[in-house]
């Protein structure tokens, strides 16, 4: 996750876990200073009824909120803070959770069995989020490219340590390729290779038993994912980076799987 960072200063050659985390935290702190524009009546409706379809909750702070089975279909939650919120079984179909002017924070949120089909999640922070059994079919988890104060910013969807076991990501978009070299140069940035810019955002993501059929994975280093009986875009089944004990039991801890290969820690 990067904010107001010129492409000419991007350290692309050897990203490390620690450096990427610092960038994410910096972007988060900068983003929280921006004014929110949510509708207070919509927020009250959500509190009273646990339902707010197509409502405006842009930038709202719902950190730690109990929103189990909430109906937020089509809601605008861009830039909202949902860190640690319990959204188990919630309906977030076609919701806007994209991080543009500031990231949408879903770090450590419980999204187990939530419906996120067709949702906009590009640029969102899903660090250590629990997405077990969630429906992410046709969802957009790709990269966001934003022009801010004449500076191009790349907002990566942060899935580090997220649990996507048994999630349905069929036809989802996880594209990383950003073919905008000309525009970068127009803003004073040097032409750079972009294939691996966001790969640290996928370190340790657990896709065991997930359905990735027809998912767009362009630009993603597959070796950085935890795959256990995972259905790949071509319908094949992969067990890449799957620990031997998981191949049998496929048991995972709550949202976190840290037994991925040692080289994933290395810069």
- Per residue in 201-223, pLDDT (tens digit) is 787 899 999 999 999 888 787 88
Average pLDDT (245-261) is: 39
Dist. CA 194–CA 140, nearest whole Å: 19
Residues 233-242, mean pLDDT to the nearest whole number? 92
Q: What is the mean pLDDT of residues 245-264?
A: 38
Contact 257, 226 (CB under 8 A): yes
Q: For residue 170, is pLDDT > 60?
A: yes
The C-alpha angle 31, 189, 159, rounded to 5 degrees, equals 45
| pLDDT at residue 252 in the model | 39
| pLDDT grade for 178, boundaries at 50, 70 and 90 | low
Q: For the beta carbon of residue 44, count every other beta carbon within 10 angstroms.
A: 11
pLDDT band at 143 (very low <50, low <70, confident <90, very high): confident
pLDDT at 219: 78
pLDDT at 125 over 80: yes
20 or 248, higher pLDDT: 248
Specify whether the CB–CB gap between 182 and 149 falls below 8 A: no
Burial of residue 82 (CB within 10 Å: 0-12, 13-18, 19+) is buried
Q: Which pTM value belongs to this model? A: 0.75
Q: Is pLDDT larger for residue 76 or for residue 142?
A: 76
The per-residue pLDDT for 186 is: 55
CA distance 234 to 250: 22
Cα 225 to chain centroid distance, Å, stands at: 14
Q: What is the DSSP letter of 185?
A: H
């Amino acid at each position: 996750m990067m904010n107001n960072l010129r492409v000419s200063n991007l350290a692309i050659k050897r990203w490390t876990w620690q450096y990427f985390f610092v960038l994410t935290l910096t972007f988060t702190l900068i983003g929280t200073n921006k004014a929110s524009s949510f509708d207070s009546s919509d927020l009250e409706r959500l509190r009273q009824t646990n339902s707010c379809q197509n409502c405006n909750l842009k930038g709202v702070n719902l950190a730690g909120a109990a929103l189990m089975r909430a109906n937020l279909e089509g809601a605008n939650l861009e830039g909202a803070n949902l860190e640690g919120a319990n959204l188990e079984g919630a309906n977030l179909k076609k919701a806007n959770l994209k991080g543009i002017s500031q990231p949408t924070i879903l770090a450590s949120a419980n999204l187990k069995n939530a419906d996120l089909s067709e949702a906009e999640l590009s640029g969102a922070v899903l660090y250590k989020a629990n997405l077990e059994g969630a429906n992410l079919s046709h969802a957009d988890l790709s990269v966001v490219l934003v022009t801010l104060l004449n500076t191009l910013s790349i907002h990566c969807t942060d899935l580090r340590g997220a649990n996507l076991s048994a999630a349905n990501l069929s036809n989802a978009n996880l594209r990383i390729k950003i073919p905008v070299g000309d525009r970068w140069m127009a803003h004073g940035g040097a032409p750079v290779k972009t294939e691996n810019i966001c790969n640290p955002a996928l370190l340790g993501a657990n896709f065991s038993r997930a359905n990735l059929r027809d998912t767009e994975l362009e630009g993603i280093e597959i070796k950085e994912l935890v795959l256990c009986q995972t259905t790949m875009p071509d319908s094949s089944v992969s067990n890449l980076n799957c620990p031997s004990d998981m191949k049998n039991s496929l048991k995972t801890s709550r949202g976190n799987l840290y037994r991925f290969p040692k080289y994933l820690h290395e810069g």
